[in-house]
Amino acid sequence: MKYLFLTILVGGMLAVSCTQGKKSQSAKTNTTKSSSGTSTAANSNEVSTGIAWTKSDRLAPVLETAQKLKKPVFLEFYATWCGPCKVMDREVFKKPEVYNYLNQHFISYHVDVDNTNGRAISEIYEVTGMPTVVFVDPQGVVLERELGLITMDRFKKVAASALSKMK
């Protein structure tokens, strides 16, 4: 059993290493910066082409923005080498019905667990594996969380449940 697990793990790592990393948004994307030091990707022609990830090295400015806008925060904990994270990116986060919903109702923040700040945030939210999605209120209190690869339908239900807890 141990050898089967190792074989699957090594095979998965090889498959992941052969795939490309996440692509950046198109050249039409502009970045707007808020007074709290966060920036959000926004498309210049107002048609969304993906999740408007908030750029910040720290979580505090993201939560400050959420407080000002009175919106919950969607946290995606990922790593560039994580195969299931890439599947979720492709099969869930790139779907218009998902990214339009997130962009309308949430502040979205990518947390790379391989960097120092990402590890600190993942410890705060007790992330034990990836991908992990966590929805928090503007004070950082967890509303919903899911560990592992989930379907688009499951993701939408979790997001809707988190949003309903804000009302």
According to the model, what pLDDT value does residue 38 have? 53
pTM of the model: 0.73
According to the model, what pLDDT value does residue 43 have? 37
Residue 27 CB neighbour total at 10 angstroms: 6
According to the model, what pLDDT value does residue 48 have? 56
According to the model, what pLDDT value does residue 6 have? 36
Domain range spanning residue 120? Answer: 37-164
State the Cα angle at 88 between 23 and 108, rounded to 5°: 75
Has residue 145 been placed in a domain?
yes
Query: Structural domain tally of the chain?
Result: 1
88: Cβ–Cβ under 8 A, 6 or more apart, which residues? 76, 131, 149, 150, 155
Has residue 52 been placed in a domain?
yes
Has residue 152 been placed in a domain?
yes
Q: Block means of pLDDT (10 residues each) for the chain, length 167 residues? A: 39 34 34 48 51 95 98 97 96 96 97 96 97 98 98 97 93
Has residue 7 been placed in a domain?
no
